[in-house]
Amino acid sequence: MRISVIIVVKNGQKFLRAAIGSILRQTQQPYEIIVVDGHSTDRTASIARSYPNVTFVPQRGHGLATARNMGIDRASGELIAFLDHDDLWDPEKLAIQSAEISNGREIQYCYAYLRFISANFVADTVAPLGGYPGYRPGSHIGRTPGTLVVRKSLFREVGRFNSDYAIGCDAEWFLRAQDLGIPCSCIPKVLLFKRLHSTNLSRNISVNRREIFMIVKQSLDRRRRPNG
């Protein structure tokens, strides 16, 4: 199946080339790479446009969810994968996960393990500025878009990313899919290297906690309904 890769970025000139490079090193190449740019004021646009196999899409509106949804609308592959501009993939990621979905007809999406790295790509190194909230060394199950490969058709059933959430839109989508009982699988291998640095969105602890509380409450409310 054809795979569309979506990169959402804003002012990402420091890491964008490395992210695109980790896609181009995949043993199974994607059908297309779509970079959705959230009104960058640095060299992000010129970097993305320098790759002939990258489609550059200026974002309309604002916010992470809106950017991801624009990428979904633009994607023409049967499968969609996401990579944040500051993260990296294992070279086997797309091959392993597309095979997992192709071999199991009931599987609608799969995710994998991740490992945190610092800004200079050193594993298990605490991020700058005195550390990172919630940082733990080692590998972890990653229910995050960077590990996700999903059938595009699933977004019609589950819905797209919720723009009501500035940070938690990713967690909210995974929980919505879980509450609906969508068949999925987790690859027991580190396929995403998630970079921790001073400008990560999730460093905004107060917003993050408030949104997670709302997301969990919504999930509990859904489960209490007679029809789920």
Cα 189 vs. chain centroid, distance in angstroms? Answer: 17
pLDDT in tens, 97-111: 999 999 867 999 999
What CATH number is attached to the domain comprising 173? Answer: 3.90.550.10
Task: Name the domain count of the chain.
Answer: 1
Question: CA of 83: how far to CAs of 12, 87, 183, in Å?
Answer: 13, 7, 22
Q: What is the domain extent for residue 125?
A: 3-224
For the chain, percent of residues with pLDDT exceeding 70: 79
Distance CA 207, CA 64 (A): 14
Highest mean pLDDT among 55-64, 68-77, 129-138, 194-203 belongs to: 68-77
Taking residues 124-130, report their average pLDDT.
54
Question: How does residue 129 score in pLDDT terms, banded at 50, 70 and 90?
Answer: very low
Do residues 79 and 8 lie in contact, with contact meaning Cβ atoms separated by under 8 Å?
no
Global pTM reads 0.85
| Alpha carbon separation from 19 to 94, 105, 227 (Å, rounded) | 14, 30, 42
